[in-house]
């Protein structure tokens, strides 16, 4: 199946070839960072908890790299506590609400995670994160501690509050992801790599986080329901099913797909803000750090739209497609072209008999128009280049065999 994917998408094969030619393996990158001791262990944890994030963080400008690595690990520790269903409710809320204080306490660790928590080791050795956090400049510490405090309070609230309304859905996503956008934007500004306005216009930063979080929540519905939880707001799924289990059942498939499409539409509304945010980022490594997750998100949400497989399994974009997105997320024009292409794909999937048709069409039309008016050279063509690359490949192959067969004549 993987071979067929490469054949059907030759530009992905080409992108993968050049990506691996230009990028060192993660372990070599860590060596090149020239870190040691506790910070080396922190980068080890970064690799353990998220290899995809580790790659882009390690490519950041040195003025931001360690600070964002530690910011990520602190929030990962907070998230590990939130996800742990074995911690009693009252104790969990206390830990979440006080986590911004423990990051200042040398020697603090947590060894009571449940047996199924994959990132438990991070909390067991959390003292190394604390040690390095305390070495950061004070202005970096202040931003990280403030976001940790606000996120912990929000997580604590939703340990006993269900996501029912669209307002609570937006609020929950703000606490767990929008605040990450706030914190990163403030760190970009504090580092002086980006203009101070990036750390002040936090509405756009919030949308960056919400688009990522809502895409993940939409995609993960099957896994979450089977785990006994659901982050889809009842204001949406309650229109299509009486229980979360009914939502993903095959007997309710038509209504389940309608609910899925409404969730996708809710996420798609953040795309204009995402492109506006990326347009203000100037430093190349910061741009890639911000852009790569967003191009992955639009690829994922377009894949999920009107796709019944989402209700049965955890769907993911192809590895080749992911590598292509990573390799092409270098500048705003390239990212706009990627978004435009995925909007074209979405347009083809958005049939008139779909209840979300009008809303999705409005988002597509407005965003494509905005891209066309701001993109150098105007709107991209709908021609995907896959066919051109495939034709060139076949011509080369035919020429090779012709040369081989006629060599003896």
Identify whether residues 246 and 146 lie together within a single domain.
no
Our answer to whether residue 72 is catalytic in this structure is: no
Query: Considering 41, 149, 150, 229, which one is annotated as catalytic?
Result: 229
Residues 6+ away with beta carbon under 8 Å from 277: 204, 205, 207, 208, 290
Write down the pLDDT at residue 399.
Answer: 65
Residues of the chain short of pLDDT 70, as ranges, are: 1-33, 378, 381-409
Write down the pLDDT at residue 229.
Answer: 87
Write down the pLDDT at residue 16.
Answer: 44
Residues 6+ away with beta carbon under 8 Å from 129: 42, 45, 70, 73, 74, 77, 103, 122
Query: Considering 76, 93, 219, 288, which one is annotated as catalytic?
Result: 219
Identify whether residues 228 and 296 lie together within a single domain.
yes
Write down the pLDDT at residue 311.
Answer: 97
Query: Residue 403: inside a domain, yes or no?
Result: no
Query: Considering 53, 289, 305, 342, which one is annotated as catalytic?
Result: 289
Write down the pLDDT at residue 274.
Answer: 98
For residue 125, the enclosing domain spans 21-161
Q: Which of 110, 132, 161 corresponds to the end of one domain?
A: 161
What single DSSP character describes residue 204?
H
Dist CA 74 CA 101 (whole Å):
12
Dist CA 116 CA 120 (whole Å):
8
Distance of CA 275 to the CA centre of its chain: 15
Report the number of distinct structural domains present in the chain: 2
Among 180, 185, 182, 177, residue whose Cα is nearest residue 281: 185
pTM confidence score: 0.86
Query: Residue 385: inside a domain, yes or no?
Result: no
Quote the Cα angle for 52-53-55, to 5°. Answer: 70
Tokens matching residue 409: 């004549």
CATH code for the domain in which residue 67 is found: 1.10.600.10
Write down the pLDDT at residue 105.
Answer: 98
Among 239, 264, 237, 263, residue whose Cα is nearest residue 248: 237
Tokens matching residue 228: 């006994």
From residue 196, alpha-carbon distances to 72, 185, 191, 223, 283 in Å are: 22, 9, 10, 40, 13
Write down the pLDDT at residue 30.
Answer: 45
Q: Which of 131, 161, 191 corresponds to the end of one domain?
A: 161
Dist CA 191 CA 167 (whole Å):
33
Write down the pLDDT at residue 85.
Answer: 87
Our answer to whether residue 277 is catalytic in this structure is: no
Q: Which of 127, 161, 195 corresponds to the end of one domain?
A: 161
Query: Residue 72: inside a domain, yes or no?
Result: yes
Query: Residue 399: inside a domain, yes or no?
Result: no
Our answer to whether residue 289 is catalytic in this structure is: yes
Write down the pLDDT at residue 225.
Answer: 95
Query: Residue 408: inside a domain, yes or no?
Result: no
What is the Cα gyration radius of the chain?
23
Our answer to whether residue 219 is catalytic in this structure is: yes
Residues 6+ away with beta carbon under 8 Å from 347: 361, 364
Long-range contacts of 30-38 (CB under 8 A, 24+ apart): 30/58, 33/58, 33/65, 35/66, 38/128, 38/131, 38/132
Query: Considering 43, 126, 172, 340, which one is annotated as catalytic?
Result: 172
**Maximum distance among all alpha carbons in the chain?**
85
Dist CA 405 CA 409 (whole Å):
8
């Amino acid at each position: 199946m993987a071979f067929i994917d490469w054949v059907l998408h030759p530009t992905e094969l080409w992108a993968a070839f050049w990506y691996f030619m230009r990028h060192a393996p993660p372990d070599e990158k860590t060596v090149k960072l020239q870190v040691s001791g506790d910070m080396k262990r922190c980068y080890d944890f970064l690799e353990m908890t998220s290899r995809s994030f580790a790659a882009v963080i390690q490519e950041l400008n040195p003025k931001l790299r360690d600070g964002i690595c530690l910011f990520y690990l602190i929030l990962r520790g907070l998230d590990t506590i939130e996800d742990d269903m074995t911690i009693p409710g009252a104790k969990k809320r206390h830990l979440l609400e006080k986590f911004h204080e423990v990051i200042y306490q040398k020697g603090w660790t947590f060894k009571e995670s449940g047996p199924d928590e994959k990132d438990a080791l991070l909390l067991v050795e959390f003292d190394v994160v604390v040690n390095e956090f305390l070495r950061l400049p004070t202005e970096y510490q202040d931003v990280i501690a403030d976001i940790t405090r606000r996120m912990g309070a929000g997580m604590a609230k939703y340990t006993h509050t269900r996501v029912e309304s669209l307002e609570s859905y937006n609020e929950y996503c703000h606490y767990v992801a929008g605040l990450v956008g706030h914190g990163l934007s403030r760190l970009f500004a504090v580092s002086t790599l980006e203009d101070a306005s990036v750390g002040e216009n936090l509405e756009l930063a919030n949308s960056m986080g919400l688009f990522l979080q809502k895409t993940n929540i939409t995609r993960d519905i099957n896994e979450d329901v089977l785990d006994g939880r659901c982050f889809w707001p009842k204001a949406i799924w309650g229109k299509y099913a009486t229980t979360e289990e009914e939502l993903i059942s095959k007997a309710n498939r038509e209504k389940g797909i309608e609910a899925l499409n409404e969730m996708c539409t809710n996420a798609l509304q953040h795309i204009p803000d995402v492109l506006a945010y990326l347009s203000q980022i100037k430093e190349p490594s910061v741009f890639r750090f911000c852009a790569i997750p967003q191009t992955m998100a639009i690829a994922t949400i377009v894949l999920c739209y009107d796709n019944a497989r989402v209700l049965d399994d955890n769907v993911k974009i192809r590895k080749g497609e992911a590598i292509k997105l990573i390799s092409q997320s270098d500048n705003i024009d390239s990212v706009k072209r990627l978004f435009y292409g995925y909007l074209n794909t979405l347009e083809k999937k958005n049939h008139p008999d779909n209840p979300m048709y009008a809303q999705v069409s409005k988002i597509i039309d407005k965003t494509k128009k905005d891209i066309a008016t701001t993109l150098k050279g105007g709107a991209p063509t709908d021609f995907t280049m896959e066919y051109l690359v495939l034709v060139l490949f076949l011509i080369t192959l035919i020429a090779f065999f012709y040369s081989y067969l006629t060599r003896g004549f």
